[in-house]
Amino acid sequence: MDLKRLFKPGTMAVIGVSLSNESHPANVIYNKNRLRYPVEVYPVNGKGGFIRGEAVYPKISDIPSKIDLAIIATKADIVPAVMAECVESGVGGAVVISGGFSEAGFVDLQNRIVSMAREADFPFIGPNCLGIFSPSHMDTFFIPGERMVIPGHGRVAMVSQSGGILVDHMAKCALEGVGISLAVSIGNKALINEIDMLRYFREDPGTDVITFYLEGFGENEGRAFALAVPECGKPVIVLKSGKTPAGSTAVKSHTASIAGDYEVFSSVMSQYGVVEATDEYEIVTFAESLSCYKRTIKGNIGIITGSGGHGALATDTCLSHGLKVPTFREAEQTKLFNSVSPAIKKIASFSNPVDLTGSSTDDDFVAAALALSRNKDIDCIIMLLLPYIPGITMDLGARLSLVYQQEGMPIIAYVPHMDKYNMLIEGFTLNNMPVAHSVEDAVHMAEAMRRYRSC
């Protein structure tokens, strides 16, 4: 199936708008796209009429333009008839927002629309979903725009069986400055599933990293998904729910998925190069890390800090995640000693973590980063930056970015999340380097590279 008109439509019809209820999901979707996005959108209701002076079309076939994407937000029992009209009218694809299918026990109804779509080669997302969010282009989520936290445009694609989880992930991406290329809520994934999405994003030049929130697979889907990951050639991150018996029961009632045996799932995913996130925070930090550094590391970490406490905390966190913090050889410590300013030579520590102390300056951090970038005993640097140290300026991020560009050693920065430090943070992000806002997140970013297996 060709999914281009589904994800990059020029025209959209919203079917099921209400003439009297502005809070109806279809109305929210129509108004949002009509007022905020460039996609050309048309309202459809069997009664016809007007909304805010705009004509409402009784049928999709009455619309004068050819429609790329139909948003179906009607009662479940009339979805088959609506979909048949879409097929007959040459619509490019659909998002079925409506619930009341297999997740509610109406398997036959869901099978009916799937059979129809397959026979007509008609792609659709859902049912029982929020659909598609494409930054600066369109939004089929039935959430009022003022209540959404929207990330900027970027190169991370997000796919989720749960619409609510997807919205949460988008909010976290916005908070962490992670841009997205596309966000897709697939709901019951009756027709288009994770494997189809993998294949689509494999060919999408705007996507570098793909994340999935999974509740479960249908029969034989898990194996097919695992086999498709190496073919994708891009980092794939998965967060799985239904790990416990109680979680499996919750999954079944939500999207009628089969959660399966988690230990088997986790083992197979790792074998085929999937990076598994263990919680909702890891999936965002992993995405940020792998969108900047698409590489595998052994996990030997060099730590540079201006605070001994932060260095100790980072060391403990690295070791708890299976990463290593090797003590530097005497020759490497001597290089570090010779590189820093005379003011801190006698008070700094050079063994790893490298504690430059609160008396350090930008020049000391740059010199230490340069020395560690040439140290063969490590393959990643975690830089713990405390902007309130007097000798640090807002130029340090940009200067450290130059070290990375020259030497190629991945650098992960920790900077406290405060607006007053944005200029320092931008020095990294504008040069495609990840910034964590907690020590643990910085370690997670390194862990993502250790788990990643390039194909």
Write out the two tokens for 432: 């495609």
For 156-194, what is each residue's pLDDT tens digit? 999 999 999 999 999 999 999 999 999 999 999 999 999
Unique residue bearing structure tokens 């862990």: 447
Backbone φ and ψ of 292, nearest 5°: -95, -45
Residue 266 pLDDT more than 90? Answer: no
Angle separating helix axes 79-88 and 107-120, nearest 10 degrees: 0
Considering the segment(s) 1-128 as one domain, its CATH architecture is: 3-Layer(aba) Sandwich (3.40)
Quick one: which of 402, 331, 308 has its CA closest to 363?
Answer: 402
Tally of CA atoms within 13 A in the half-sphere of 196 that contains its CB: 17
pLDDT digit string, tens, across residues 248-259: 444 444 444 444
Note the pLDDT tens digit of each residue in 320-344: 999 999 999 999 999 999 999 999 9
262-283 in b/e form (b: 16+ CB < 10 A) is eeebbebbeebbbbbbeeebbb
CATH 3.40.50.261 domain span(s) along the chain: 149-292, 295-451
Q: Where do the H-state alpha helices sit in 121-241?
A: 163-176, 194-202, 221-232
Q: For residue 245, what pLDDT is reported?
A: 54
21-31 burial by CB neighbour count: b if 16+ within 10 A, else e? eeebbbbbbbb
User: Is 212's pLDDT higher than 60?
Assistant: yes
Domain with CATH 3.40.50.720 in the chain: 1-128
Q: Domain 149-292 classified CATH 3.40.50.261? A: yes
Q: What is the DSSP letter of 360?
A: -
User: pLDDT tens digit string along 44-91?
Assistant: 999 999 998 899 999 999 999 999 999 999 999 999 999 999 999 999
Q: Which two tokens stand for residue 264?
A: 């088997």
Q: Report whether pLDDT(98) > 60.
A: yes
Distance CA(113)–CA(124), nearest Å, equals 10
CB 188 within 8 A of CB 219: no
Mean pLDDT on 115-135: 97
Average pLDDT (300-307) is 98
- Residue 220 sits at the vertex; the CA angle it makes with 215 and 222, to the nearest 5 degrees, is 40
Q: What superfamily in CATH does domain 295-451 come from?
A: Succinyl-CoA synthetase domains (3.40.50.261)
Q: Which tokens belong to 39? A: 């996609």
DSSP designation for 258: B
In the predicted model, is pLDDT for residue 425 greater than 50? Answer: yes
Sole residue written with tokens 């380097």? 433
Q: Identify the pLDDT of residue 33.
A: 97
**pLDDT attached to residue 186:** 97
Q: Residue with structure tokens 């640097």?
A: 381
When the pLDDT of each residue in the chain is averaged and rounded to a whole number, the result is 93
pLDDT band at 247 (very low <50, low <70, confident <90, very high): very low
3-state secondary structure at position 354: strand
Long-range pairs for 74-79: beta carbons < 8 A, 24 or more residues apart? 74/15, 74/16, 74/26, 74/98, 75/100, 76/100, 76/101, 76/106, 76/109, 76/127, 77/109, 79/109, 79/113, 79/127
Mean pLDDT value across residues 101-107: 95
pLDDT tens, position by position, 47-56? 999 998 899 9
